[in-house]
Amino acid sequence: MKNQEIAALFEKIANVLELKGENTFRINSYHKAARVIGDLAEDIEILAKAGKLTDIPGIGEGTAEKIIEYINSGKMSKYDEVMQGVSEETVALMQIPGLGPKTVALLNKELGIVNLSDLEKALHGDTLKGLFGIGDKKIENIVKGITLFKTSQQRISIGMAYPVVKRIIEELKHNPKIEDIQAAGSLRRMKETVGDIDILVSGAEGTEIVKSFVNMRGVTQILAAGDTKGSVRIEEGVQVDLRVVREDEFGAALQYFTGSKEHNVHLREIARKKGLKVSEYGIFRGDKKVGGRLEEEIYATLGMDWISPELRENRGEIEAAQEGKLPKLVELSDIKGDLHNHSNWSDGIPTFEEMAEHAIKMGYKYLVVSDHSKSLHIANGLEDDELLEEIEAIDKLNKKFKGFTLLKATEVDIKSDGSLDFPDKLLKKLDIVVASIHSGFKQGTEKITERMIAAIRNPQVNIIAHPTGRLISKREGYEIDMDKVIEACAETGTALEINCFYDRLDLNDINCRKAKEAGVMISISTDAHHLDQMWMIELGVGIARRGWLEAKNVINTFSLDKLKTFCRKKGMPSP
């Protein structure tokens, strides 16, 4: 149902008109339209189709036209017109509890405040007080409103959301009334952060299904519980939406609720040109439904290959699907080992034996032990002689395994002058060398790029770990020139890492795709310090798929021999 979507648009139009100081009669009529549509029990699309919009009290001819335009095209020209000259940032200010259009207009006129950071500065500088009836109480409310607004805007890492969804789906699967169940939204697309979690189920008894959903464990607040939709907040602080659809509409709904919005808008455009219509209920030619039970039917009817959810960002995937040129994306089952892990020899928890045992259980053929180097005191980095001992210990242990190998490695620190923390003759004794930056983050672009490229040019270095150093929602990456880094990796046969640790996911999807296009190989590895972190390989595979990577672009899909050849080749003098 598009009821809430349309109501929100009218509300926004009313607010922006008010902000602009337009006449009250029209503003009130938009507020009213927003309210009645928001409260409507019936589906507004169905009413529109039946020509019954003007039967709704508060909806006149003009409003009805706008609704029909939006339903047909996904656009409302009145909205676009009203938004002229107003930034989204200013409109967002009006969503802060306690801040209506009148106050925002006042703040704008008197203090030039157009966005949240302006407002926070003004609050800090105490310039608000005394401004036309803004007293202590009002200021207190605004401060509270900002806190609330920020919490509601918070996105959580996929690393938190992903296991939560697995748990919820496992629990709901036991309900015999549920036929199909699938995660949708940004989580299914494996975006690095998600705003809320969307779950889609099919089944005939919506009310019962929603009831079991809102009563599951971990729910802290029930936001909505109807016969087709339930919405809750859970312990992890995130909102989870459940939608119940009919079995024969499951594919269409899954397609719609997986998004992204941009992908869906583009698909609908293509549909329109072909005389088709795509909605969450199915794909239609005129009034005739021509598909909708399976997601594949939607794409096939539109004349294209089925598109993996991770690609659905409207970044060229639709054109590729039309031409039959989608990449054959790397899969979790392609991964033969993890190339970045820490043992209890540095700052990890597990022993080699425990790491190997866990890796074998995961179906891996090899696992890299890459403990830190000596400069990293806080991480208990290894001295040269300790690394030699570690090599010996791993060699000895490897004799016990059949069809599995622990690889001797290090995560060697790239020092602030670009030199490495271990001498080359020591690095030569290893199977793989992972190098990374852990200090001097504030060096300017030129310096830090040169520093990394110096490491890339070292013939012993095989992989650059967490190449930008960013921590999601905590720290921007260093200001590195990724294009130059990618170029140097391509020239030298050095791989870049997708660090799968949930707060890193570094490289990100965009840089992955750039690297692939430049012919740079990628390592998808967890940086696990604990056995319970090795599952995060799944997150990295998600990012790789979002970056259009195929198995052949990823070095840890290689057999052990091929991987060793890849590493050895770099160290060889060029002919």
CB nearer to Ca ion: give 185 or 350: 185
Task: Choose the stretch contacting Ca ion; rule: CB under 5 A; options: 140-148, 234-242, 328-336, 371-379.
Answer: 234-242
Would strands 229-234 and 219-225 be described as parallel, antiparallel, or unpaired? antiparallel
Q: What share of the chain is helix, strand, coil (3-state, %, to 5)?
A: 50, 15, 35
Q: How far is the CB of 198 from Ca ion (least distance, A)?
A: 4
Q: Which of 11, 45, 198, 297 binds ligand DGT (CB under 6 A)?
A: 198
Q: How far is the CB of 243 from Ca ion (least distance, A)?
A: 9
Q: Return d(Cα 67, Cα 51) in angstroms, integer.
A: 11
Q: How far is the CB of 8 from ligand DGT (least distance, A)?
A: 9
- The interface with ligand DGT within residues 421-460 (CB under 6 A) comprises none
Q: How far is the CB of 452 from Zn ion (least distance, A)?
A: 16
CB nearer to Ca ion: give 186 or 458: 186
Q: What is each CA distance from 550 to 334, 444, 513, 520, in whole angstroms?
A: 10, 34, 10, 12
Task: Choose the stretch contacting ligand DGT; rule: CB under 6 A; options: 12-20, 170-178, 184-192, 270-278.
Answer: 184-192
- Site track 238-267 with ligand DGT (rule: CB under 6 A), x = hit: ------------------xx-xxx--xx--
- DSSP-derived letter for residue 420 is B
- The interface with ligand DGT within residues 317-356 (CB under 6 A) comprises none
Element (DSSP H or E) covering residue 409: strand 405-413
The answer to whether the CB of 255 falls within 8 A of the CB of 295 is yes
- The interface with Zn ion within residues 352-381 (CB under 5 A) comprises none
For the chain, the residue count is 575
Neighbouring-strand partners of residue 278: 283
Q: Which of 268, 527, 546, 551 binds Zn ion (CB under 5 A)?
A: 527
Helix axis angle for 3-19 and 101-111, nearest 10°, is 40
Q: Return d(Cα 62, Cα 193) in angstroms, integer.
A: 40
Residue 529 binds which one of ligand DGT, Ca ion, Zn ion, none, with CB within 5 to 8 A depending on kind? none
The answer to whether the CB of 94 falls within 8 A of the CB of 104 is yes
Task: State yes or no: residue 314 binds ligand DGT (CB under 6 A).
Answer: no
- DSSP-derived letter for residue 476 is P
| # residues contacting Zn ion (CB under 5 A) | 2
Name the nearest CA neighbour of 195 among 239, 165, 231. Answer: 239
Residue 411 binds which one of ligand DGT, Zn ion, Ca ion, none, with CB within 5 to 8 A depending on kind? Zn ion
The answer to whether the CB of 519 falls within 8 A of the CB of 508 is no
Residue 259 binds which one of ligand DGT, Ca ion, Zn ion, none, with CB within 5 to 8 A depending on kind? ligand DGT
Q: How far is the CB of 332 from ligand DGT (least distance, A)?
A: 22
Adjacency order of strands within the sheet including 219-225: 181-184, 197-202, 239-245, 229-234, 219-225
Q: What does the block give as tokens for 348?
A: 């990890």
Task: State yes or no: residue 279 binds ligand DGT (CB under 6 A).
Answer: no
Q: What is each CA distance from 321 to 317, 374, 429, 443, 510, in whole angstroms?
A: 6, 50, 46, 43, 19
Residue 527 binds which one of Zn ion, ligand DGT, Ca ion, none, with CB within 5 to 8 A depending on kind? Zn ion
Task: State yes or no: residue 160 binds ligand DGT (CB under 6 A).
Answer: no
Task: State yes or no: residue 411 binds Zn ion (CB under 5 A).
Answer: yes
Q: What is each CA distance from 31 to 17, 26, 35, 90, 104, in whole angstroms?
A: 11, 9, 6, 19, 17
Q: How many CB atoms lie within 10 A of CB 282?
A: 24
Residue 257 binds which one of ligand DGT, Zn ion, Ca ion, none, with CB within 5 to 8 A depending on kind? ligand DGT
Task: Choose the stretch contacting ligand DGT; rule: CB under 6 A; options: 48-56, 185-193, 351-359, 380-388.
Answer: 185-193
| # residues contacting Ca ion (CB under 5 A) | 5
Task: Choose the stretch contacting Zn ion; rule: CB under 5 A; options: 4-12, 94-102, 399-407, 521-529.
Answer: 521-529
- Site track 167-206 with Ca ion (rule: CB under 5 A), x = hit: ------------------xx---------x-x--------
| # residues contacting ligand DGT (CB under 6 A) | 15
Q: How far is the CB of 189 from ligand DGT (least distance, A)?
A: 7
Residue 149 binds which one of ligand DGT, Ca ion, Zn ion, none, with CB within 5 to 8 A depending on kind? none
Q: Return d(Cα 470, Cα 461) in angstroms, integer.
A: 21
Q: Return d(Cα 317, Cα 297) in angstroms, integer.
A: 17
Name the site residues for ligand DGT (rule: CB under 6 A): 5, 185-186, 191, 194-196, 198, 256-257, 259-261, 264-265
Name the site residues for Ca ion (rule: CB under 5 A): 185-186, 196, 198, 241
Name the site residues for Zn ion (rule: CB under 5 A): 411, 527
